[in-house]
Amino acid sequence: MSVVARRYIPWMFVVVVFTIVAIDTIAVDETIHRWASDLISASTVIGAFAVLLSIVMLSRLHIRRILRRRTVLESSILLICMWITLIWGGVRFFIFGISPTIEPVVQNLFYAITAPGDATMFSILAFFIASAAYRAFRLRNTDAGILIAVAIIAMLAKAPIGEAIFGKGIIAISDFCLNVGAKAGRRVFMMAMVLAVIALDVRILLGYERGWMGRGAEEG
C-alpha cells in the first residue's frame, strides 16, 4: 500500500495528465479539449495552495530567529509587513469580496514598498552589467574576442552616440552581427533546450527521474 500511495499514484497522475494535455495541443477533439482545459484550470487552483505551506514555513523561520534574538529588527519588520498585508487584504478579499488589486490599503502598501523595490532591484542590473563587462571583457582568446566585439558593436549601434561617431556603417555591421551571429546562437539554444526537454519528459514519464518526488529514491 505505502509504496503505491507514495510513488505509483503520483506517477500515474503525471502520466495521465501529461498525456491528456499534450494531446490537446496537437489534436482536434472536443472531449479531450474539455478535459485538458479543466485540468489546466484545476492545476492553477491546486498550485495556489503551495503558498500556504511557504507562508507557514517563512513565519516559523522568522519567529524562531526573533526568539533566538538573532536579527530581531529585520525579522519583525518582515513579519509585520507580511501579516498586515495578508490579514487586511485577506479579510477585505475573502469576507467583503474586494479584490486586492483595487483595495486601497493593499495598493498603497504595494506602491510604497513593493513597486519601488521591484523597479530599483531591476535597475541595479545596469550597474552590475557595467561591472561585469569591466571584469570579464578581456581579450584572452578568440571566443572572448568575438563576445567583446559583438557586444561593443551592439552597444554602439543602439546608443545615438555610436552613429554620431562612426556614421551609418556601424548600424549595418551591427545588423549583420545580430542577424547572423546572434540569431544563430539563439536558435541553437532554443533547439537544444527542446531536445533536452524531450529527454527529461521521457525520464519523468518512465519514472526514472525521481527528483520531483523527494525521498523517492530509496523506496525503490
Kindly identify the residues of this chain, within the stretch 140-199, that bind another protein according to CB under 8 A: 140, 142-144, 146-156, 158-164, 168, 171, 176-199
Contact 171/163 with Cβ under 8 angstroms?
yes
C-alpha cell at 41: 484550470
Cell 472536443 found at: 30
Contact 219/6 with Cβ under 8 angstroms?
yes
Q: Residue 72, interface with another protein (CB under 8 A)? A: no
Among positions 1, 51, 95, 96, the unique one binding another protein when judged by CB under 8 A: 51
Q: Residue 130, interface with another protein (CB under 8 A)? A: yes
| Closest separation in Å from C-beta 32 to another protein | 8
Write out the binding residues for another protein, residues 3-32 only, by CB under 8 A.
5-6, 9-11, 13-29, 32
Q: Residue 54, interface with another protein (CB under 8 A)? A: yes
Q: Residue 137, interface with another protein (CB under 8 A)? A: yes
Query: Whose Cβ is closer to another protein: residue 96's or residue 142's?
Result: 142
User: Nearest to residue 204, comparing CAs of 50, 7, 37, 39?
Assistant: 7
**Burial letters for 99-130: b for 16+ Cβ neighbours within 10 Å, e otherwise?**
eeeebeebeebbeeeeeeeeeeeeeeeeeeee
Q: Residue 82, interface with another protein (CB under 8 A)? A: yes
Among positions 118, 169, 173, 220, the unique one binding another protein when judged by CB under 8 A: 118
Q: Residue 96, interface with another protein (CB under 8 A)? A: no
Q: Residue 93, interface with another protein (CB under 8 A)? A: yes
Cα–Cα dist 89/112, whole Å: 15
Among positions 1, 30, 96, 123, the unique one binding another protein when judged by CB under 8 A: 123
Cα–Cα dist 207/9, whole Å: 12
Q: Residue 67, interface with another protein (CB under 8 A)? A: no
Q: Residue 63, interface with another protein (CB under 8 A)? A: no
Cα–Cα dist 156/174, whole Å: 8
| Closest separation in Å from C-beta 75 to another protein | 7
Contact 11/203 with Cβ under 8 angstroms?
no
C-alpha cell at 132: 561585469
| Closest separation in Å from C-beta 78 to another protein | 4
Q: Residue 34, interface with another protein (CB under 8 A)? A: no
